[in-house]
């Protein structure tokens, strides 16, 4: 396998959204419906939602889904895996032929919502993966978030918009250096534990 840096590759994210409320169905479906998914391929089943397309649109959509659920004030968690360059994820997609304008930016940038998030980057297909992580990720430049270490992950605290921006920058930076990158994350807002 050759590393084709600079080639635009399809990105994706498989995630699940959990709303800790008896009203979870309306909030989850409302959040998915409110989000503009016109620039991504999308599939939802009983376990996860998967979106695929250009990397900026994948992040735009996942962030919007989370914000529209979290802004209800309910305790909302999302876990997922971003992926780019997966050898098993090659064909059948027309969603790369689109421009870079983020469809959900205008509707989400004004939403103020604090959260805590743990994420981990996995550069695949390399024996220098720890070097890649250390060299490519510079979270000191991440604006608006507090960064702290956690087991198997890095923790970010701050506004949801800033957290997703920091994760996107780290993901894009790492994927430029390796052929296949995945990134896991779990983000939590309005937890009774964090209200203390």
The full DSSP string for 76-94 is: EEEEEEEEES-TT--S---
Enter the DSSP assignment of 9: -
The minimum distance between CB 100 and a second copy, in angstroms, equals 23
Q: What does each C-alpha distance from 96 to 5, 22, 52, 123, 185 come to in angstroms?
A: 17, 38, 9, 23, 24
116-135 binders of a second copy (CB under 8 A): 116-118, 120, 122, 124-127, 129-130
**Is 72 a binder of a second copy (CB under 8 A)?**
no
**Rounded-to-integer distance, Cα 75 and Cα 119, Å:** 19
**Is 87 a binder of a second copy (CB under 8 A)?**
yes
**Is 96 a binder of a second copy (CB under 8 A)?**
no
**Is 138 a binder of a second copy (CB under 8 A)?**
no
**Is 95 a binder of a second copy (CB under 8 A)?**
no
Encoded tokens for 105: 């930016």
Q: Are 47 and 59 in contact (CB under 8 A)?
A: no
Q: Which residue has the tokens 């608006």?
A: 144
Q: What does each C-alpha distance from 196 to 90, 110, 136 come to in angstroms?
A: 46, 26, 35
The minimum distance between CB 106 and a second copy, in angstroms, equals 28
Task: Indicate which single residue of 30, 34, 86, 111 sits in contact with a second copy (rule: CB under 8 A).
Answer: 86
Q: 34 or 129, CB closer to a second copy?
A: 129
The minimum distance between CB 191 and a second copy, in angstroms, equals 4
**Residue 91 burial (C-beta neighbours within 10 Å; 0-12, 13-18, 19+):** exposed
**Is 98 a binder of a second copy (CB under 8 A)?**
no
Q: Residue numbers of the site for a second copy (CB under 8 A)?
A: 1, 12, 14, 16, 18-22, 24-25, 43, 45-48, 50, 52, 75, 77, 79-81, 83, 86-89, 116-118, 120, 122, 124-127, 129-130, 150-153, 155, 182, 184, 186-188, 191-194
């Amino acid at each position: 396998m050759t590393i084709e840096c600079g080639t635009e590759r399809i990105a994706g994210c498989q995630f699940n959204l959990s709303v800790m409320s008896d009203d979870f169905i309306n909030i989850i479906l409302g959040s998915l419906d409110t989000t503009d998914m016109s620039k991504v391929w999308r599939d939802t089943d009983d376990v996860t939602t998967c979106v695929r397309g250009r990397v900026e649109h994948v992040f735009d959509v996942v962030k919007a889904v989370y914000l529209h659920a979290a802004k209800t004030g309910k305790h909302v968690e999302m876990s997922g895996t971003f992926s780019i360059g997966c050898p098993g994820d090659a064909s059948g997609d027309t969603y790369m032929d689109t421009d870079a304008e983020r469809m959900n930016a205008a509707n989400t940038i004004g939403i103020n919502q604090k959260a805590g998030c743990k994420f981990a980057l996995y550069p695949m297909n390399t024996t220098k993966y720890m070097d890649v992580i250390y060299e490519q990720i510079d979270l000191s430049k991440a604006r608006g978030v507090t960064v702290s270490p956690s087991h198997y992950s890095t923790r970010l605290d701050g506004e949801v918009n800033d957290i997703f921006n920091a994760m996107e920058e780290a993901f894009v930076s790492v994927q430029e250096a390796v052929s296949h990158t995945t990134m896991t994350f779990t983000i939590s807002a309005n937890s009774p534990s964090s209200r203390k």
